[in-house]
Amino acid sequence: MHRPEKLLGMSDLSMHGHMELNGNREAVVEGCSGVLEYDETVVRIRTPGQVVRFTGRGLSIRCLTADALVVAGYITGIEFLG
Amino acid sequence: MFSLKLTRWLIGFARFSVRGGSPERFYTSCARKGIYLWDISAGKTTSVCVAARSYRALRPLARRAGCRLKVLEKRGLPFLLYRTRGHMGLWAGGAVFLAIVFVLSLRVWCVQITGECPYPTAEVENALAAEGLSRGVWKSSVDPRILASRMMLKFPDIRWMSINMHGCEAEIAVRKKIQKPEIADFSGFCNIKASATGQVLSMKVYAGTPVVQKGDAVVKDQLLVNAVVEDQLGGNTLVHASAEIIAETSRDLTVRVNLKQPKTIPTGKTVFRRNLNLFGARIPLSLFGKPAGSWNISRSESSVSLFGTVLPLSVYEEKWEETRVAETVLTKQQALTAAKQEADRQIKELLGSGKVISEKSEEKWESSALVKTIHLTCEENIAQESAIFIKTG
């Protein structure tokens, strides 16, 4: 049995979003579908298939659009939660 | 980054705080609605930025998330313009200003000549003005190609001219023509005759048959080099004779200097007439007209430049100095100096590239003039071409 995303020709990358880190100061997440938790020490966001949790100090969301988000601050950890 | 900030400022944005409820849910709803948020800070003083036109759409989303929004500040051009809504004069002034700037930008305000111009700048500028390029003309009325061609025809010593329009400035790039060397005319046949009486010192015969020798005494119009050349077989050929015959000659010059001479003397009265040239318009700064009498006029124009660009602002000044004609009597020394200057001028004109070996002068003082007679011994080229006309047919 084929998975629907395989049938539609979608890659694994597009199904799980795309994340880019600039050191530990900035993370650009493409394919973000919502903010679940947000304060200065934790930013938890929903991406297709999983939840990503950024921890650190002085975190802020620099910009937020329908499918992308930029987290800035001093990032000390990134967790991928099923 | 600057362009992003500028764009945000141009479209206008609002910074607002989010209190109570679930801010996360509010942010997610905004993102899903396609509302772009930036600078979302967390903590006690939560603040978010949004484009001014999107702020109204946030209200229902905030209500659904149980949040209360409060505008902290409004920034950008739309808010700045909104503040001036009651001042119609300001808007009218702005519109008039823009209209003036637009109209002025359609004209030429500066004509600058660059490069090596073999003619005086004022002369070229006057010719350009006559052809339709001067300060204040419409840029659309100037066809740089045709104008450059016309100017090159008018000024034969200009090799090429390019007229480049940089905004309101017309740059006239000029290149000087390199003069061609004169080509000696060797067409036709001619003999070489003596242009003056003298003794031959040296001879350089380039073509023809010499009929005199070094050391010979020759008289004016005597044949020096014959155009007929005889070859080894006894045949004759006519050539264009060419030679340099240096001879020692004697010349007499007479210079007459009148002791009483009319001289233009300034009376000391000076009048200045000034005009202010602003955007091609001449605004007179002096209110009196052309004074009567005899005057010496000197003109000057000082332009204002900014960073090397001449601005359409200059002051034109005419200096009028009153003069009168008075008869002055030359002193002995002054008369001698004048006679010498005149003699030097005549010698230069007479000898050309020749030189004076020795000179003897006699001065005769008359009641109203000095007559100076100079006997010169010179070294000069006496070769003079004398054409031979051959009738054919």
- From the number of C-beta atoms within 10 Å of its C-beta (0-12, 13-18, 19+), residue B103 rates as exposed
Percent of residues, chain A, with pLDDT higher than 70: 80
Q: What is the mean pLDDT of residues B117-129?
A: 89
What are B357-373's pLDDT values in tens digits?
Answer: 898 988 888 888 889 89
- From the number of C-beta atoms within 10 Å of its C-beta (0-12, 13-18, 19+), residue B189 rates as middle
Radius of gyration of chain B (CA): 43
Query: The domain A4-81: what is its CATH number?
Result: 2.60.40.2000
Contact of B4 with B33, CB cutoff 8 Å? no
CA A30/CA A73 separation, integer angstroms: 18
Give residue B204's pLDDT band: very low, low, confident or very high (50, 70, 90). Answer: very high
Which ipTM was obtained for this model? 0.82
- Is the pLDDT reported for residue B318 higher than 70? yes
Around Cβ B166, how many Cβ atoms within 10 Å? 10
Alpha carbon distances (Å) from B125 to A10, B129, B134, B304, B312: 71, 6, 8, 17, 14
Measured between beta carbons, the chain A residues lying within 8 angstroms of B27 are 35, 38, 61, 64
DSSP strand E in B101-168: where? 110-115, 158-166
What are B13-57's pLDDT values in tens digits?
Answer: 999 999 888 889 999 999 999 999 999 988 777 889 999 999 999
What is the pTM for the complete model shown?
0.48
Q: Which of A46, A57, A59, A64 to mutate to test the interface with B (most CBs of B within 10 A)?
A: A64
Q: Does B39 touch chain A (CB under 8 A)?
A: yes
**Cβ separation of A61 and B23 shorter than 8 Å?**
no
CA B337/CA B32 separation, integer angstroms: 103
Q: Does A59 touch chain B (CB under 8 A)?
A: yes
State whether residue A21 is helix, strand or coil: strand
**Cβ separation of B40 and A34 shorter than 8 Å?**
no
Alpha carbon distances (Å) from B311 to B67, B115, B125, B178, B315: 60, 19, 16, 33, 12
**Cβ separation of A66 and B32 shorter than 8 Å?**
yes
The residues facing B13 across adjacent strands are B51, B75
Q: What is the dihedral of CA B241, B242, B244, B249, to 10 degrees?
A: 40
Q: Does B57 touch chain A (CB under 8 A)?
A: no
